[in-house]
Amino acid sequence: MNLSVHVDDLTQVPVAVLGIPVFEDGVAEAPSVQALDKALDGVLTKTIADEQWKGKKGSTLALHTHGRVGATRLLLVGLGARKDFAPGDLRGAAARVVKASVAAHGKTAGFVMPAGDGLTTERTIQFVAEGALLGGYRFDKYLTGDRKKSDPVEDFRVVVGEADAARVDGLKRAVQRGEQVAAAVAHARDLVNEPAAEMTPRKMAEVAQRIAKQHGLEAKILGPKECEKLGMGMFLAVGQGSDEEARFIHLTYKPKGKTPPKKRVVLVGKGITFDSGGLSLKPSNAMEDMKVDMAGSAAVISAIGALADMGVPVEVHAIAACCENMPSGKSYKLGDVLKSMNGKTVEINNTDAEGRLTLGDALHYAVTEIKPDEIFDFATLTGACMIALGPHTAGVMGNDLSLVERWLQAARLAGEEMWHLPMPPALRDQLKSEIADMRNTGDRYGGALTAGIFLKEFVGETPWVHVDIAGPASADKEQGHIGKGGTGFAVATMIEYLAPRE
């Protein structure tokens, strides 16, 4: 899809569908509605009145213009109440315009930036670009026949007013940034949406090597023997029940030039390419979407490519400990005591709490082998986090409150929902073991928190943030710019945090 920014007369925009975002408070009085209504001899406001359309958030109202203006169809998109508006809402609005154009077999679409109150900014334009591109995302690799056929939108115009004409060059740069973010998010979605039989640990390693080649990164891929030499007893135990060999992926981006990097940051992603639960076998309905359990690794591998293209002045490492958690005669067992890379021993009381084991070794590797200034991990870690926060919000924990707040601020700017959760010291007792340094799960209540407390054991004094993306990593239905399936969640925040706007 080609994206462009134009200063256009709204009545002359030559597109199949022209999107007009409007707020609840004063739909008919919106300047864009007024301008088009005049050209249509009052038909637009009459339709709004007849349909009793109020501009509720996410609602739309379509009107065929019959050639009376440049656009074939108009699509009013509700933004809800102005007081509740967040810039990220424009992603969903732009996505709805693209979907409407696809439904109408149109090849072009346009989006009129809301007028007034300084809403046309580089950030809002970026969100529109992301929404347009992600709204057109479709994972149809395995579809055949008519279901595979689609009419993708080829050109998408972002229309701004005369007052913004002097800033068009900056707005165009914002569109380019939106394209980079959307491409990384879409790549992460592709990886998550692949069947587990296709996206195996070895295939993940191949993808990482391809990303490294494309973006000028260093790539280190470790197999089971190399991991055994490093003492990754937890990571290897999780993968030993599968016929698919585990792969430990380490990608590195270093800024070019003689100026030292501002800091060194590690992004660790959980990489369970399929989670059956191991011998603590999940029921069938809970196992059905467990190809999603590598969403954290998909996110960090995809994000580092975009960060390299942006030339961020930060040294960035992406780590993914990839394996399958499968039941077999070789599987690790309940009651086993595993020795981690940092020497701690862990008693296993649930083989379906495997992500924290792989992450524990990955985090210690990051701390000792890379010695970062900051470390972040991203994992579809606990159903308990979904119970606490619902399906759209990630839980955030960490050992450095300042770092946690800076991360959450980046999430707010990126338009991704995250919430700070505590790690109460009293819950550490739940992880006590009679025969090892600790066990891998605590009690039912506070499960997301004890998972974070477990991971904290492996980061030492390094400033660290844990992001539990179990809910928002995938969607069970379409919503705005988010389609059903993998969402690419957290990629946008990683980019916002490490490549903030100047």
Q: Are β-strands 374-379 and 464-468 bridged in parallel, bridged antiparallel, or unpaired? A: parallel
Kindly list the strands in the beta sheet with 218-222, ordered across the sheet, starting from the edge strand earlier in the chain: 218-222, 247-253, 315-325, 264-275, 374-379, 464-468, 394-398, 418-420
CA 60 and chain centroid, separation:
26
Token readout for 249 is 């992926």
Would residue 282 show up in a list of annotated catalytic residues for this protein? yes
Q: Which residues on adjacent β-strands are paired with residue 220?
A: 250
Answer for the pair 397, 449: CB distance below 8 angstroms, yes or no.
yes
Residue among 343, 351, 360 nearest 436 (CA): 343
* Catalytic residue (choose from 282, 339, 412, 428): 282
Distance separating alpha carbons of residues 385 and 365, to the nearest angstrom: 26
Q: Which of 157, 291, 356, 439 is catalytic?
A: 356
C-alpha distance from residue 477 to each of 2, 45, 136, 354, 391 (Å): 27, 32, 15, 27, 11
* Alpha-carbon gap, residue 411 to 416, rounded angstroms: 5
- The first and second tokens of residue 434, run together, are 């009679």
Q: 377 has which bridge partners?
A: 268, 466
How would you classify residue 328: left for phi > 0, otherwise alpha for psi between -120 and 50, otherwise beta?
A: beta
Structure tokens at 414: 């990126």
Backbone phi, then psi, for 411, in 5-degree steps? Answer: -65, -40
> In terms of C-beta density within 10 A (0-12 exposed, 13-18 middle, 19 or more buried), how is residue 259 classed?
exposed
What count of Cα atoms within 13 Å lies in the side-chain half-sphere of residue 86? 11
Question: Over 395-436, what HEC string results?
Answer: EEEECCHHHHHHHHHHHHHHCCCEEECCCCHHHHHHHCCCCC
Amino acid found at 313: P
Please tell me what DSSP assigns to residue 468. Answer: E
Cα angle at 232 between 230 and 238, to 5 degrees?
Answer: 155
Residue 321 contacts residue 248 (beta carbons within 8 Å): yes
**Can 356 be counted among the known catalytic residues?**
yes
Question: Measured between alpha carbons, how far is 1 from 21 in angstroms, rounded to an integer?
Answer: 21
The closest of 58, 151, 88, 143 to 414, measured between CA atoms, is: 88
Which of 391, 392, 397, 393 has the alpha carbon at shortest distance from 377? 397
Structure token digits, residue 240: 């030993």
Strand partners, 374: 265
User: Which residues are part of the catalytic machinery?
Assistant: 282, 356
